[in-house]
C-alpha cells in the first residue's frame, strides 16, 4: 500500500479517468480505481462518497478544461467586443471539435456521463453563459453593443450557437461547410446585437 496520506483528490481523479478510459463508464468500479492507486476502496470513499460522485467529479474537471481557457478570453482587454465574442465562440467550438476528433471514445463517454449528471452540465452551461454575459455587459457599457440584459443576450447567443458546441451535434462537425456555417451564423448574430 502507498502512503494514503499523500493521496490527493487530483490523483484519484487521474486514476478514475484512466479507469473510465480503459473499461468504459458501465464497467468501471471504485475498486478498479483503488487498485490503480494501490489503496483500499475505503480510502477512495473517504474522498468521494459514491461512484456517482466520483464520476461527476471527473466530468466536472473535464468541463473545466473547456471553460477555464474561455474565462481568460472573457477577461481579456484590448480588441473590440465583437472580436472577443467571436473568439470566445471559436475557441469553444474548436476545443469541442478537438476532443470529438482526437479522442472520440472519451468524448462519447463524457457526453453520456454529462447527460446523466444534470447538475454538473447545468453548472457548466451557467458558467459559460456568465462568461459571455461578462463580455456582453462590457460591450454595452462601451456602446459597442445595443442596450439590453446581458444575461438574456448571452443565453440567446449560446443557444443560437448550439450547432457548433453542443455534443449532440458532434456528428455534424465533419461537414465541409462547418467553417462557413460558423461565419454565417455568427454574422447574423453579431449584426443582431451590434450598436448601429
Closest distance to its own copies from the beta carbon of 107 (Å): 15
Cα distance between residue 106 and residue 172, in whole Å: 18
Based on CB atoms, which residue is closest to its own copies, 4 or 175?
Answer: 175
Q: In whole angstroms, what is the distance from residue 110 CA to residue 62 CA?
A: 8
Nearer to its own copies, 43 or 114 (CB): 114
74 vs 153 by CB, closer to its own copies: 153
CB of 116 to its own copies, least distance (A): 12
Distances (CA, A) of 101 to 21, 71, 82, 105, 107: 16, 23, 28, 9, 8
Q: Is residue 74 exposed (0-12), middle (13-18) or buried (19+ Cβ within 10 Å)?
A: buried
Which chain residues interact with its own copies by CB under 8 A?
115, 146, 152-153, 155-157, 159-163, 166, 168-169, 171, 181, 184-185, 187-193, 196
d(CA 111, CA 59): 9
Q: Please identify, using beta-carbon distances, which residue of 34 and 85 lies nearer to its own copies.
A: 85
Question: In the bound complex, what is the minimum distance in angstroms from residue 191's beta carbon to its own copies?
Answer: 4
Output the smallest distance, CB 167 to its own copies, in A: 9
- Residue owning grid cell 479522442: 103
Amino acid at each position: 500500500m502507498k502512503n494514503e496520506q499523500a493521496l490527493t483528490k487530483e490523483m484519484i481523479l487521474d486514476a478514475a479517468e484512466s479507469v473510465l478510459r480503459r473499461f468504459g463508464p458501465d464497467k468501471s468500479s471504485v475498486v478498479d480505481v483503488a487498485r490503480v492507486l494501490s489503496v483500499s476502496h475505503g480510502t477512495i470513499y473517504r474522498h468521494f462518497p459514491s461512484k456517482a460522485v466520483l464520476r461527476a467529479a471527473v466530468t466536472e474537471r473535464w468541463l473545466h478544461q473547456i471553460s477555464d481557457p474561455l474565462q481568460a478570453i472573457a477577461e481579456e482587454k484590448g480588441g473590440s467586443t465583437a472580436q472577443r465574442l467571436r473568439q470566445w465562440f471559436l475557441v469553444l467550438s474548436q476545443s469541442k471539435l478537438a476532443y470529438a476528433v482526437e479522442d472520440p471514445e472519451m468524448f462519447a463517454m463524457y457526453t453520456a456521463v454529462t447527460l446523466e449528471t444534470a447538475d454538473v452540465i447545468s453548472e457548466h452551461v451557467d458558467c459559460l453563459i456568465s462568461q459571455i454575459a461578462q463580455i456582453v455587459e462590457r460591450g454595452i457599457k462601451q456602446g459597442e453593443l445595443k442596450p439590453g440584459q446581458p444575461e438574456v443576450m448571452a443565453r440567446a447567443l449560446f443557444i443560437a450557437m448550439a450547432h457548433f458546441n453542443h455534443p449532440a451535434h458532434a456528428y455534424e462537425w465533419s461537414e465541409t461547410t462547418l467553417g462557413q456555417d460558423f461565419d454565417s451564423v455568427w454574422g447574423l448574430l453579431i449584426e443582431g446585437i451590434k450598436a448601429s
